[in-house]
């Protein structure tokens, strides 16, 4: 709660301000229940509430989740964002399942600190221990899967990390006061009924896993799809009027994921097909980052609109997101292939790479979609003649060097700043590539590739600075949301697209 005072939280609670949804949770001492700030229940008295930075922290302090506003369905928000980089990374790793099969000592080793120091940092900044966070997260995820997915109880128990269905039933009843089956009977799901469609492979079929992920409003799904449509790699991705689909491989299991964004309610229907459905929690976490579902857009827009240069863009696109990446290595390759070439040329190169070195997708997953391969693993590209793909020799050499680094164990998992520092020392990786990797590959909200030709052209059209140095100085007023300013500038080019753009 380092950036929010209790008084500010209570004011947001009284007004049910949606901008704070997911940023804090209100625990009511008299009922033992905690809620989202948008909960329609009667506002409790000021002296009867406590505020917590995460649902996990509230549960660790003995409060039960509200069955009405469903805290587990709130847009995600790292409990330690902006307070300590080590804790922020630890929270992300725990949320992604680091303690499901590992220990706190293993997690501390990954972070380069002792387990005692990790426990101290975690408790100080989040109000819960790593184990309490992991247990609460399992409970919250389990209930979300019960209400918002079509999985069976047995599948949910296994995916959420419970050793048996009996333990799953007992733990959820203890935490929520009801048996798990009561949630599915008593609450209306946000999912549309699944329907088999032989004619449209991008609609849910009988055996698909279907889950709905909520987004912070406003949510501009059309702009997101337009962005991915222009950059879809042939054979790897397919983007239609209402869907984004791609192949994937997690823990050695292939799959096809289809995202169907919607504005009402704001969020995305996720359809997961194939053996990878057992990794739905990791898939959903990747989709949240890919589609930027957790951005606090009202706050970001209010900040950027203070600049007359940005104000008309923010007004025109209030729900604009910064598209992320599916995986660090894949995006690094895409960024290098897109150096100094058009978007279409980068797509062509990436399509050749996928077709030549990617693993074929099983026929039952690929049928009718146009998606044929998975993106190649780093090891599959090491030593390959990448200069035969049709790019300059210097760029092929850069691609070979970065592939070799990502093939090293643990390289892709390190802290984002450390990763960028190591990439910066490599020949062929300049400031534009590093900033673009930070912006989309790592999700840095303040990354800003000022030298990008598209950004410079857009700024010039709007009457702003026309060179990178001047634009960098002007962009200081956009901190800490310069990545969103960059996205607004790129989007403004749709009316006057440049001949050449360097954003793959």
Active site residues per annotation: 35, 452
Q: Please tell me the distance from the alpha carbon of residue 214 to that of residue 231, in angstroms, as a whole number.
A: 24
- Both tokens assigned to 110: 């990954």
Phi-psi region of 10 (alpha: psi -120 to 50; beta: other; left: phi over 0): alpha
- Both tokens assigned to 401: 């060097």
**Does residue 87 contact residue 59 with C-beta atoms inside 8 Å?**
no
- Both tokens assigned to 242: 């209402």
CA-based Rg of the chain, rounded to a whole angstrom?
23
- What are the residues whose beta carbons fall under 8 Å from the beta carbon of 78, sequence distance 6 or more? 88, 91, 92, 95
Closest CA relative to residue 291, chosen from 261, 335, 333, 311: 261
DSSP string spanning 133-174? HHHHHHHHHHHHHHHHB---HHHHHHHTT-S-HHHHHHHHHH
DSSP string spanning 254-277? EEEEEEEEEETTEEEEEEEESGGG
- Phi/psi of residue 334, nearest 5 degrees: -60, -40
Q: Please tell me the distance from the alpha carbon of residue 143 to that of residue 425, in angstroms, as a whole number.
A: 46
Phi-psi region of 155 (alpha: psi -120 to 50; beta: other; left: phi over 0): alpha
- What are the residues whose beta carbons fall under 8 Å from the beta carbon of 163, sequence distance 6 or more? none
- Both tokens assigned to 431: 């400031």
The C-alpha torsion from 163 through 168 and 170 to 173, rounded to 10°, is 160
**Does residue 80 contact residue 107 with C-beta atoms inside 8 Å?**
no
Output DSSP code: residue 71.
G
Please count the helices (runs of H) and the strands (runs of E) in the chain.
23, 9
């Amino acid at each position: 709660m380092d950036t929010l005072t209790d008084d500010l939280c209570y004011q947001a609670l009284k007004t049910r301000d949606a901008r704070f949804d997911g940023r804090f949770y209100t625990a009511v001492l008299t009922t033992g229940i905690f809620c989202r700030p948008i909960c329609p229940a009667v506002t409790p008295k000021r002296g009867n509430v406590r505020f917590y930075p995460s649902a996990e922290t509230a549960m660790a302090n003995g409060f039960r989740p509200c069955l009405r506003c469903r805290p587990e369905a709130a847009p995600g928000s790292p409990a330690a964002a902006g307070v300590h980089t080590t804790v922020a990374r630890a929270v992300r790793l725990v949320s992604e399942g680091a303690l499901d099969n590992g220990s706190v000592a293993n997690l501390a080793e990954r972070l380069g600190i002792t387990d005692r120091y990790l426990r101290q940092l975690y408790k100080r900044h989040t109000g819960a221990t790593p184990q309490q966070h992991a247990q609460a997260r399992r409970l919250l995820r389990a209930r979300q899967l019960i209400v918002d997915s079509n999985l069976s109880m047995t599948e949910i128990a296994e995916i959420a990390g419970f050793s048996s269905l009996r333990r799953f039933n007992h733990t959820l009843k203890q935490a929520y006061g009801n048996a798990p089956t009561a949630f599915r009977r008593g609450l209306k799901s946000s999912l549309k009924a699944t329907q088999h469609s032989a004619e449209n492979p991008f609609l849910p079929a009988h055996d698909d896993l279907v889950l709905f992920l909520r987004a912070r409003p406003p949510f501009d799904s059309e702009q997101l799809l337009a962005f991915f449509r222009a950059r879809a790699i042939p054979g790897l991705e397919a983007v239609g009027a209402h869907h984004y689909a791609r192949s994937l491989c997690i823990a050695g299991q292939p799959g096809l994921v289809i995202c169907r964004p919607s504005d009402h309610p704001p969020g995305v229907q996720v359809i997961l097909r194939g053996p990878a459905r057992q990794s739905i929690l990791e898939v959903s976490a990747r989709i949240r980052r890919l589609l930027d579902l957790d951005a606090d857009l009202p706050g970001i827009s209010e900040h950027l609109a203070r600049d007359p240069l940005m104000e008309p863009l923010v007004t025109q696109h209030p729900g604009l997101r910064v598209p992320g990446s599916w995986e660090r290595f894949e995006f690094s390759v895409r960024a290098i292939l897109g150096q100094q070439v058009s978007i279409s040329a980068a797509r062509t190169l990436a399509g050749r790479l996928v077709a030549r070195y990617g693993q074929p997708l099983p026929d039952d997953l690929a049928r009718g979609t146009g998606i044929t391969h998975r993106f190649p693993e780093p090891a599959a590209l090491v030593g390959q003649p990448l200069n035969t793909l049709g790019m300059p020799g210097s760029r092929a050499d850069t691609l070979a060097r970065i592939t070799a680094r990502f093939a090293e164990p643990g390289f892709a998992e390190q802290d984002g700043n450390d990763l960028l520092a190591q990439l910066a020392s490599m020949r062929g990786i300049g400031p534009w590539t590093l900033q673009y990797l930070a912006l989309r590959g790592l999700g840095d909200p303040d990354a800003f590739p000022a030298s990008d030709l598209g950004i410079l052209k857009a700024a010039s059209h709007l009457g702003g600075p026309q060179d990178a140095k001047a634009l960098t100085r002007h962009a200081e007023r956009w901190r800490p949301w310069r990545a969103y300013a960059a996205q607004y500038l790129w989007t403004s080019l749709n009316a006057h697209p440049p001949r050449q753009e360097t954003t793959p």
